[in-house]
Structure 1
């Protein structure tokens, strides 16, 4: 379970969820860069709740302060918006700015760069997980394949199609006991549904050589 937090809405909701669901629940929080380093004492109080991670607590362009914060927390820091390339991931790992990385292919420029970040993190023993950005079934299929790589050892937030779309561009992805099956077909493993694609297409252009 992931909770969004911000100054003034953090300790109380986390405490309530932990008390309701118990210590066995994998619980993480996402701050979306809403804190500053002066909030370190309050963020340190989240250590009491045995969180899986705290995601992007500080500004996305400040790896140095994330490294300072990491030394003051027991809770692992995960970087999201700060990581837009393998080079940035390498800098974050070297500085000690994080111990977990969220890889979003759409944010880092595609699947080749996402694979580079995965390989880098795996070589350094840094767990990764795959974040989604409301993709249709086309992007969702590729994300699931990415998340099946061996370095992705933490739960991702790619969900079933029906969470976002009444009708997807591909056959729907359905959760089974919290898991999504990796498509086994050629390419990305799925094909668009022709009738759905036709219905939502607003223009077509053929390019010939």
Structure 2
């Protein structure tokens, strides 16, 4: 019940005809790249492509427990699908580790699909991808690997390298931070300092 200006009591039994729209408050979390511990090193991999399939490229960064860069690499892959580019970025990184006689490696990707494919040993994929996955499994037998999934915000360094490579940039090896492209260098410095990136969660919309 409520009282109108005329002093008469009115009823609110009639439902509102206009639906109410509710918005939740946007949430944000901090995502950090975490350093490996003990005798482990970490290899982060990522890819980028303009279309699926489209012009693609891959990046990988290898760092030690002190957050120091051991090497970084960018590769252009030509016309590929997203998943093939992701898998090739991983196998190229592992091949380079083998050539450099490195082992005890945490391989980290922000592709949940690739992570699941590698850790589940699934055969339900295209023959091109299956061939690359088999090569990854073969390399894992000699390199002592552990696989990890990371959110994209914690993988910005290799994401930047992959994006540059997908624009038909030449293949390039980097052995120190100063040689990295400027945007990638900035992300690397933040990772080394332990500073995270902001991850925004999309607000949910509801109608009642």
TM superposition score normalised by structure 1: 0.25
Higher Rg of the two aligned structures: 2
Higher relative contact order (CA 8 A, sep 6+): 2
Structure with more of its chain in strand, by fraction: 2
